[in-house]
Amino acid sequence: MSETFDEATTLKRRTFVAASTAVAGLPLLNSDRLPTATAAAAPAPADRLSTVRLTVNGEQRTARVDNRTSLLDLLREHLDLPGTKKGCDQGACGACTVLVDDRRVNACLTLAVMHQGARVTTIEGLARGEQLHPLQQAFIDHDGLQCGYCTPGQLMSGVACIAEGHTGSRAEIREWMSGNLCRCGAYTNIVSAIEQTAKEA
């Protein structure tokens, strides 16, 4: 009885899978026909590649990349600067904030080829050797970080916020830093760090 039940169940399952696949118009999966890792990682055609030259953290850097490469991926994957974080990859969290010609930019939303010849500053270029940037020190003083993932973007945006003169009040700082999310909720301390640095500048 048990064997008959198992055979019938197996037959029904096979029939269901075959029928579902036929209705959807899809072939059954065949491992011989699946794309290989080599095929998936095939390089882009030459006409889709560009040589990008930038000054990154004061150093001339050059990379040949697919035209669709974001500035974020150029920095992380091609120039070995992983300090700039990939968060939402949609421009909503600010984790990838860098300075391009002294203006804050979400690196995930802009293409590398759009910034030919630009000056880019990342978190790696904020300190001067062993000497921390004043805002980095203020983040330590005010415990403006917890997990640390958003911290590079917060710092770069904070530096720009101070340079732009948007530090007249805590409310103004919060408004101009609103594009940078902190999942840990260290906002009060981040604002305090920016406020202190702006006063001492």
User: pLDDT by residue (tens digit) across 175-185?
Assistant: 999 999 999 99
For residue 21, pLDDT beyond 50: no
DSSP string, the chain: -HHHHHHHHHHHHHHHHHHHHHHHT-PPP-GGGSPPHHHHTPPPPGGGEEEEEEEETTEEEEEEEETT-BHHHIIIIIS--TTS--SSSSSSS-TTEEEETTEEEEGGGSBGGGGTT-EEE-GGGTSBTTBPPHHHHHHHHTT--SS-SSHHHHHHHHHHHHHTT--SSHHHHHHHTTTS--TT--HHHHHHHHHHHHHH-
- Helix axis angle for 134-141 and 151-163, nearest 10°, is 120
- Rg, the chain, Cα only: 25
Residue 22 φ then ψ, to 5°: -65, -40
94 Rama sector, left if φ>0, alpha if ψ -120 to 50, beta otherwise:
left
Tell me the pTM: 0.77
Tokens encoding 62: 């050059």
pLDDT level of residue 32 (50, 70, 90 thresholds): low
User: pLDDT by residue (tens digit) across 97-154?
Assistant: 999 999 999 999 999 999 999 999 999 999 999 999 999 999 999 999 999 999 999 9
Query: Any idea which of 2-6, 42-46, 90-94, 134-138 has the lowest mean pLDDT?
Result: 2-6
For residue 64, pLDDT beyond 70: yes
Output the pLDDT for position 126.
97
Output the pLDDT for position 37.
47
HSE of 12, CA atoms in CB hemisphere, 13 A: 6
Q: Does 79 or 34 have the greater pLDDT score? A: 79
Tokens encoding 199: 């006063």
